[in-house]
Amino acid sequence: MITGETLDGLPPRKLPGRQGLRQEDHRLPRVERSEETGCESPDGKALCSMDDPWERMLVAPPAAASSHLSDGELFASQTPSLSKHLADCAWCRYRLDAVHTITAAEAEDDEDFEQRLRAGNWRDDFAQVSREAVLPDQVRAAMTAPASVGDVEPGQLWRITWRGHHLLMAVIEVADWQVLSAPVTTDVNLADELTLLVKAAQSPLGTDLAIWVRNRVAVPLFVFGRPLGMLPPMGRAHLSGQAALEQLTRAHTTGSAVSSDLPTGRPLTDNDMDRLAIHDALWEQTDWFTAASAGLIDSDGLLTTARKPPGTRQDSARPLSDVLRDSGLSLPELAARTGLKMGRLVDLARTDATASPQEIAAIEGATRRAVAIDYSDQQLKVVTALTEVSRPAWRAARQRWTQHKNRDVESEDPTTLVRHLLEQPMAARSTYQEQEPADERQRLRQYWRERVAMVLNEYQ
């Protein structure tokens, strides 16, 4: 299982320093002016001569004949008392004139913009840009042609999809149902020393690509939707795409120098704000897909479906099938005491059955015997089942099956089908194997592949 990596090596972000607040107010000399109005006449009735129309409005001067008008009163409808005050008070009159001047300028700007919009000159420019911005034929074919979906392999390019979001990824490593991948964009001009560059002539998409190894993440296998091709040989040594990605990953995790043979960007520095910003943007995009596995694993990296409950005692416990068979109770009696259906009890009596915690509690209460659970075996069953169900080849059929079984469940979530497989064991193997695989994990993978094929056959 791929565990979370410490993605260090990214220089800390530095925000531009703030300018200190201006402490001094450089006003014009007040020669023979009122202390607060700055007007030429001490009685405050003469018009002010100000360079900054707002500078003298911040603090109201003493009123000439009556109290100054508030903003609400100043911009209300004209009344005799308002007109009289404005005739006597230069400060309020200047406030009103300044607002009218600014409002008229803003209205003129809005009118000019609307006229340009109605003129439609921008439509020709937009049409020209649209004609030139055409997807390369290889990209269009990769995105629209019927895909022959196989297994996810290192060195491949894929489009991943989760709840309406899409992202291009390059596969670095596959471990069961988790895939270590690096986001792929066309922003080659922003690439750093840990970003693998692919020229358009070699690219499977017919355009320049940047593979951001610094931003690699482990995403669940079930978000992989469409293969887009293999990476070409890289560098003068013609390393495979997988080897090139692994080399950059190793350089990042160990802090070693990147081979000059690989085509990468220039080193990242603390002042590269644009390039630091694209890393932030990539993290935001990849977070959406890493969150797809939220709730599937706990803080210890174990699948929650197979986690051993705290305080579970296994001293005198026996396997579930033995407990049911040696209970001394008939099938109807077991069904009555446990509340489980007799068909379900028959399934649980098989040695490869997987019972839910609620079913185990009901059986233990009815038989007064403890059920022994091999949690390592249970974990292996869950991992191999989830891995098989998550394969891209089953994606469309799995979603149709989930939607058919429960419309209230998110169709892209594979856990509904995994739970169904674990709780409904198959009576017999669908095919005869002359030689069983020696590896238990491989044996389970074959078993689940047969099971999934049987369940999803009519939904293909």
Range 143-293 classified under CATH 1.10.1040.10 = no
CA separation (Å) from 336 to 318, 325, 353, 355? Answer: 22, 16, 21, 18
Tell me how long the chain is: 460
pLDDT of residue 193: 94
pLDDT of residue 355: 76
Least confident of 62-71, 120-129, 154-163, 449-458: 62-71
The Cα–Cα gap between 127 and 111 comes to 25
* Per-residue confidence band for 298, with pLDDT thresholds at 50, 70 and 90: low
pLDDT one-digit tens code per residue, 384-412: 889 999 999 999 899 999 988 888 888 88
Percent of the chain residues past pLDDT 90, beyond the cut: 24
CA separation (Å) from 458 to 132, 253, 397, 425, 439? Answer: 44, 46, 8, 19, 31
The Cα–Cα gap between 371 and 359 comes to 11
CA separation (Å) from 27 to 49, 50, 51, 95? Answer: 12, 10, 10, 19
The Cα–Cα gap between 331 and 113 comes to 82
The radius of gyration of the chain's CA atoms, rounded to the nearest angstrom, is 36
The pLDDT of 324-336, averaged and rounded, is 86
State yes or no: pLDDT of 14 exceeds 50.
no
At what angle are helices 375-389 and 440-456 packed, to 10 degrees?
Answer: 50
Note the pTM of the prediction, 2 decimals. 0.59
Give which of 425, 302, 287, 295 is closest to 356, Cα–Cα.
425
Contacts of 57 (CB under 8 A, 6+ apart): 91, 94, 95, 98
pLDDT one-digit tens code per residue, 233-253: 998 889 999 999 999 999 999
Name the most confidently modeled range: 8-17, 77-86, 237-246, 374-383: 237-246
Domain residues of the chain, as ranges? 34-118, 143-293, 304-459
pLDDT of residue 67: 66
What is the 3-state secondary structure of the chain? Answer: CCCCCCCCCCCCCCCCCCCCCCCCCCCCCCCCCCCCCCCCCCCCCCCCCCCCCCHHHCCCCCCCCCCCCCHHHHCCCCCHHHHHHHHHCHHHHHHHHHHHHHHHHHHHHHHHHHHHHHHCHHHHHHHHHHHHCCCCHHHHHHHHCCCCCCCCCCCEEEEEEECCEEEEEEEEEEECCEEEEEEEECCHHHCCCCEEEECCCCCCCCCCEEEEHHHCEEEEHHHEEEEEEECCCECCCCECHHHHHHHHHHHHHHCCCCCCCCCECCCCCCCCHHHHHHHHHHHHHHHHHHHHHECCECCCCCEHHHCCCCCCCCCCCEEHHHHHHCCCCCHHHHHHHHCCCHHHHHHHCCCCCCCCHHHHHHHHHHHCCCEECCHHHHHHHHHHHHHHHCCHHHHHHHHHHHHHHCCCCCCCCCHHHHHHHHHCCCCCCCCCCCCCCCCHHHHHHHHHHHHHHHHHHHHC
* Per-residue confidence band for 105, with pLDDT thresholds at 50, 70 and 90: low
Asked if residues 98 and 122 have their Cβ atoms less than 8 Å apart, the reply is: no
pLDDT one-digit tens code per residue, 131-182: 555 556 666 666 665 655 688 999 999 999 999 899 999 999 999 899 999 9
What b/e string do you get for 399-430 counting C-beta neighbours within 10 Å, with b at 16 or more?
A: bebbbeeeeeeebbbbbbbbebbbeebeeeee
Asked if residues 376 and 351 have their Cβ atoms less than 8 Å apart, the reply is: no
* Per-residue confidence band for 49, with pLDDT thresholds at 50, 70 and 90: very low
